Amino acid sequence: MKRTGTRFRVQKALTHYDTIVIGSGIGGLCTAALLAKTGQKVCVLEQHYTAGGYTHVYERGGYEWDVGVHYIGEVHKPWSVIRRVFDVITDGQLEWAEMDQHYDHIVIGGKEFRYLAGRDAFKEEIKRHFPEESAAIDRYVDLISEVSSKIPRFFAGQALPRSLGTLYNKLRRRLFPAYFFQSTREVLEGLTQNQELIGVLTAQWGDYGLPPAQAAFVMHAMVAKHYITGGNYPVGGSVRIAETIIPVIEATGGHVFTYAGVEQVLVKDNTAYGVKMAKDGHVITADKIVSCAGLLPTYDKLLPKTVAAPLGLLKQTEQVKPSASHVCIYAGFNGDSKTLKLPKTNYWLYPEFNHDLSVKRFMDSPGMDFPMIYISFPSAKDPDWNRRYPDKSTVEIVAPSFPHWFEQWKGSTWNKRGEDYEAFKEKISQVLLEALYQHQPQLREALDFYELSTPLSTEWFQWNQVGEIYGLEHTVKRFEQHWIHPQTEIKNFYLTGSDVVTAGVGGALMGGVLCTARMLGWKAYKVKQMIADAYQTEPSSTAQTASNV
């Protein structure tokens, strides 16, 4: 069984650490590893049986699947900030495999479109379908580059002391162009009135969980830019992420414990000083406490109400909502990816070009008219897969869903939810498998194993609010919440991970960096230096490529 981290035992833990991190998502592991690199003893406490948060993998029926890593952009460029940070926190041990140049395949109402890696290739391919929209496509790609060049400044407040940082966040509306505070649809309709083109350009909305009229354009632009030079997958599967970071945390005497749920952050005189474990009330203390459990679960559940309420934190949480939830089929097939002709490309299936309308219809009707189905072929993306799982392949099929579909089983125990739950899951599974067979018919005969996760499974394994997959939802309103900051109003208590910046492995990783920078204060230069040193020489050939893509 592929598990990372060490099962928690009181005897194995210290009584006091420099820092305790609650939750081992990539943001938490990043913060822990960077602090360890500055010499700190850090303890990561993860409630799940394995570390990594959404980057963990699970095994069943002789197969292995990742749960929240289908592709990551930019890491194929060793000079990119994301790659440098990964190289620092893994001591360069994590390797990446590029997907096909054709990284996303979009099918809308039967028409097919390809997202090709490289700005020029991307534009040319979309222009092939919309030659009369050439200027709008150029402007769109320029705009997403423009946004991403301003992103470091947009989030700069997160590394400042809380009072200055939240003031900076408040002033952002004056400091940044209006499109930073508009929805994706508003901005795209400013570029073109061609609804089919808008449907194609926003076909990655599943990557942030909101259709164009609801999603902040800034989020859309970050995601589009993140992938426009291509997608990558961790060699050896996403388990390698935690596997390669944990030794760095342990090198300075730190620990990454699993089965280590935290019930409460201990606070005295508005200063955090430790945590109480969920299982037995055991207390561990630390100079600083960091939560990677998500902003809403942290403020709603981990902080004592007597602390959160007087500070107004519970009122603040009313301004933001948890993001979408999903169902996912984890399927295993007989035969290797080559024999089964599986692509290193993600499939995005949509019923129509107007994603807002299809989402609305889905929300209004009780049926399974999914507004989006996403298919990933992880075994094809991983060059190390065949060594570990010869003659087998895997597929994941993701679709949005609603927590209320599963309300009647809420509170029941995982794997013991009863026959009606299993029957409902089976109904959804067949809809999703049929969508797969439409595009990869050869897989029908090769199916060997499948199981469906629901928002209840996600909630069970993540300890989050309603099985949300992207932390806080990425509306314009979310990016106007100036109070969202890694340094909380409680002394020595910090937030890391996706809610500090944005969802996505890259977003949560940068949340980890900014949280660490804030924790270290003036000593943050050490982290900056490590990241700068991770890649110093940019050969002219790669510099050339960089300007091309």
Ligand X SMILES: Cc1cc2nc3c(=O)[nH]c(=O)nc-3n(C[C@H](O)[C@H](O)[C@H](O)COP(=O)(O)OP(=O)(O)OC[C@H]3O[C@@H](n4cnc5c(N)ncnc54)[C@H](O)[C@@H]3O)c2cc1C
The alpha carbon torsion through 478, 20, 86, 60 (nearest 10 deg) reads -90
Query: Which token pair is 134?
Result: 């050439």
Residue type, 59: E
Residues 511-540 that bind ligand X (CB under 6 A): none
Burial class (CB in 10 A: 0-12, 13-18, 19+), 545: middle
Which of these ranges, 18-26, 116-124, 155-163, 191-199, lies near ligand X under the rule CB under 6 A?
Answer: 18-26
Q: Which is nearer to ligand X, 192 or 454 (CB)?
A: 454
Q: Which is nearer to ligand X, 248 or 398 (CB)?
A: 398
Burial class (CB in 10 A: 0-12, 13-18, 19+), 312: exposed
Task: Write down the least CB distance from residue 509 to ligand X, Å.
Answer: 8
Task: Write down the least CB distance from residue 181 to ligand X, Å.
Answer: 22
Is 469 a binding residue for ligand X by CB under 6 A? The answer is yes
Is 322 a binding residue for ligand X by CB under 6 A? The answer is no
Is 398 a binding residue for ligand X by CB under 6 A? The answer is yes
Residues 260-299 that bind ligand X (CB under 6 A): 261-262, 292-293, 297
Q: Which is nearer to ligand X, 183 or 325 (CB)?
A: 325
Residue type, 124: E
Which of these ranges, 2-10, 50-58, 335-343, 378-386, lies near ligand X under the rule CB under 6 A?
Answer: 50-58
Q: Applying CB under 6 A, what is the total number of residues that bind ligand X?
A: 40
Is 403 a binding residue for ligand X by CB under 6 A? The answer is no
Task: Write down the least CB distance from residue 77 to ligand X, Å.
Answer: 15
- First and final C-alpha spacing in the chain: 40
How many other β-carbons are positioned within 10 Å of the β-carbon of residue 547?
8
Which of these ranges, 26-34, 95-103, 245-253, 408-416, lies near ligand X under the rule CB under 6 A?
Answer: 26-34
Residue for token digits 């019930």?
Answer: 263
Which of these ranges, 41-49, 377-385, 429-437, 514-522, lies near ligand X under the rule CB under 6 A?
Answer: 41-49
Is 27 a binding residue for ligand X by CB under 6 A? The answer is yes
For 160-226, the three-class secondary structure string (H helix, E strand, C coil) is CCHHHHHHHHHHHHHHCCHHHHCEHHHHHHHHCCCHHHHHHHCCCHHHCCCCCCCCEHHHHHHHHHH
Task: Write down the least CB distance from residue 196 to ligand X, Å.
Answer: 26
Is 234 a binding residue for ligand X by CB under 6 A? The answer is no
Which of these ranges, 7-15, 408-416, 466-474, 523-531, lies near ligand X under the rule CB under 6 A?
Answer: 466-474
Going by DSSP bridges, is the β-strand pair 325-334/447-453 parallel, antiparallel, or unpaired? Answer: antiparallel
Closest CA to 369 of 454, 428, 323: 428
CA distance 343 to 102: 9
By three-state DSSP, how is residue 78 classified?
coil
Which of these ranges, 306-314, 359-367, 467-475, 523-531, lies near ligand X under the rule CB under 6 A?
Answer: 467-475
Is 326 a binding residue for ligand X by CB under 6 A? The answer is yes
The neighbouring-strand residues paired with 82 are none
Is 25 a binding residue for ligand X by CB under 6 A? The answer is yes
Contacting ligand X (CB under 6 A), which of 37, 41, 70, 417?
70
Contacting ligand X (CB under 6 A), which of 18, 46, 87, 104?
46
Is 493 a binding residue for ligand X by CB under 6 A? The answer is no
Which of these ranges, 4-12, 197-205, 437-445, 468-476, lies near ligand X under the rule CB under 6 A?
Answer: 468-476
Sheet with 231-234, side-by-side order of all strands: 72-73, 231-234, 96-98
Give residue number: closest CB to ligand X.
25
Closest CA to 55 of 264, 260, 292, 249: 292
Which of these ranges, 45-53, 157-165, 425-433, 522-530, lies near ligand X under the rule CB under 6 A?
Answer: 45-53
Is 344 a binding residue for ligand X by CB under 6 A? The answer is no
Say how far residue 418 (Cα) sits from the centre of its chain.
Answer: 31
CA distance 234 to 225: 20
Contact 333, 448 (CB under 8 A): yes
Contact 228, 117 (CB under 8 A): yes
CA distance 108 to 118: 22
Contacting ligand X (CB under 6 A), which of 154, 273, 347, 463?
463
- Is the Cα dihedral 365, 366, 368, 373 positive or negative? positive
Is 209 a binding residue for ligand X by CB under 6 A? The answer is no
Is 26 a binding residue for ligand X by CB under 6 A? The answer is yes
Q: Which is nearer to ligand X, 197 or 395 (CB)?
A: 395
CA distance 251 to 88: 14
Is 201 a binding residue for ligand X by CB under 6 A? The answer is no
Largest CA distance in the chain: 69
Task: Write down the least CB distance from residue 26 to ligand X, Å.
Answer: 5
Contacting ligand X (CB under 6 A), which of 3, 37, 41, 48?
48
Is 506 a binding residue for ligand X by CB under 6 A? The answer is yes
Q: What are phi and psi of 529, to 5 degrees?
A: -65, -45
Cα Rg of the chain, angstroms? 22
Which of these ranges, 43-51, 193-201, 411-419, 516-524, lies near ligand X under the rule CB under 6 A?
Answer: 43-51
Residues binding ligand X (CB under 6 A): 22-28, 45-48, 53-55, 68-72, 261-262, 292-293, 297, 302, 326, 328, 398, 462-463, 469-471, 497-498, 503-506, 508
